[in-house]
Amino acid sequence: MTVARPAVLVVGSLHYDIMVKADHLPRKDETAVGTAWYPKFGGKGGNQAVAVARAGAACRMFGAIGDDAFGRFLRRALRQGGVDDSHVATLAGHGSGISVAILDGAGDYAATIVSGANLQMNPSALANAGLWRDIGLLILQNEVPEAVNLAAAQHARQRGIRTVLNAAPARQLAPDLVRLVDILVVNAVEAEMMGADPVAGLVGASKAARRLADRFGTVIVTAGSKGLAAVGPDGAAFSLAAERVPVVSSHGAGDAFIGALGAALIEGVPLRAACQTASLAAARHVGTAEGPAATVVGGSRPG
């Protein structure tokens, strides 16, 4: 009898990303001149799901797309990325989620999202038993309604499945959801928005992780090029310096980190080693700007 490998379930957003390259990010009221643009598969949920699969773990996605060309592009990219899309709903009458991101010459970026179908996800669909078959880890983010995240975390807890919340973008979390989160992952800005002191390096990240651990137990605070700090379920704290790589683009690095972290955790890798694996994945992403899924280049449109 063949035993199925445990899989990661990602509940989250799917966005059709329009990427614009420019020498600098525009200031208020400024019209900056770009040098190139291209569409890309995105959404924190979609990016993390494909990053999980890329890291070698089985992954299933729960999400929603519109009945449009962007939605077809997103579904095709999920399948090409090795993600089970059988629980991604196509919603008639709603447009797919999109984002516009501007990348500057230093590799930094700014983005705006329009959530579209992501805001119409049906929490009751999370009760489908087939969705949870062979699932050993749940990953959530904050680009979908909190009612969806809460329902997913409740189902996971009932099944004894750990929940990872990448609380991005940062927002006020309901106490009921906080109680169901097993591992919180935030960057420096998000940690500060959730009540920690400003994070300027690993010392600040360590302090932020300890403060947030009072509410969440296991916490990982990433500090970009400085590295990360974490507090485990037993209260043990550690920090890891980041790998030094030339920066091509930081866009999507956090999603690469989460995907690799989830893939390691589902295989039973201890937290510190899982963080090391995830940090390496994020560094490779920053140094190569490889997208987490197939990219259509040259300004072509989805078919």
Number of domains in the chain: 1
Under DSSP, is residue 244 helix (H, G, I), strand (E, B) or coil? coil
Q: What is the CATH number of the domain that holds 119?
A: 3.40.1190.20
Q: Edge-to-edge strand order for the sheet containing 97-103? A: 34-42, 15-22, 97-103, 109-114
Q: Catalytic residues, which ones?
A: 255
Does 1 map to a domain?
A: no
Query: What beta strand segments (E) does the chain contain?
Result: 7-11, 15-22, 34-42, 58-66, 84-91, 97-103, 109-114, 135-141, 162-166, 183-187, 218-222, 227-231, 237-241
Segment 263-292 shows an average pLDDT of: 86
Q: Report pLDDT for 243.
A: 76
Does 59 map to a domain?
A: yes
Q: Report pLDDT for 297.
A: 33
Q: Report pLDDT for 300.
A: 36
Segment 173-195 shows an average pLDDT of: 95
Q: Report pLDDT for 84.
A: 98
Q: Report pLDDT for 59.
A: 98
Does 300 map to a domain?
A: no
Secondary element (H or E) of residue 286? helix 271-288
Beta carbons of 256 and 249 less than 8 angstroms apart: no
Q: Which amino acid is at 136?
A: G
Token pair 């560094």: residue: 283
Q: How many residues does the chain have?
A: 303
Q: Is the pLDDT score of 242 beyond 90?
A: no
Segment 2-27 shows an average pLDDT of: 90
Using one digit for the tens of pLDDT, what is the confidence trace for 125-152? 999 999 999 999 999 999 999 999 999 9
Q: Report pLDDT for 147.
A: 97
Does 172 map to a domain?
A: yes
Token pair 């020498």: residue: 23
Token pair 């797309």: residue: 65
Q: Can you tell me the distance from the alpha carbon of 256 to that of 254, in angstroms, rounded to the nearest whole number?
A: 5
Does 297 map to a domain?
A: no
Assign residue 160 a region: left if phi > 0, alpha if psi is -120 to 50, beta otherwise?
Answer: left
Using one digit for the tens of pLDDT, what is the confidence trace for 149-181? 999 999 999 999 999 999 999 999 999 999 999
Does 294 map to a domain?
A: no
> Residue 49's domain spans which residues?
7-25+34-288
Q: Is the pLDDT score of 295 beyond 60?
A: no
Average pLDDT score over the chain: 90
Q: Is the pLDDT score of 292 beyond 70?
A: no
Q: Among the listed ranges 28-37, 59-68, 154-163, 292-301, which one has the minimum average pLDDT value?
A: 292-301
Q: Can you tell me the distance from the alpha carbon of 102 to that of 19, in angstroms, rounded to the nearest whole number?
A: 6
Segment 90-105 shows an average pLDDT of: 93
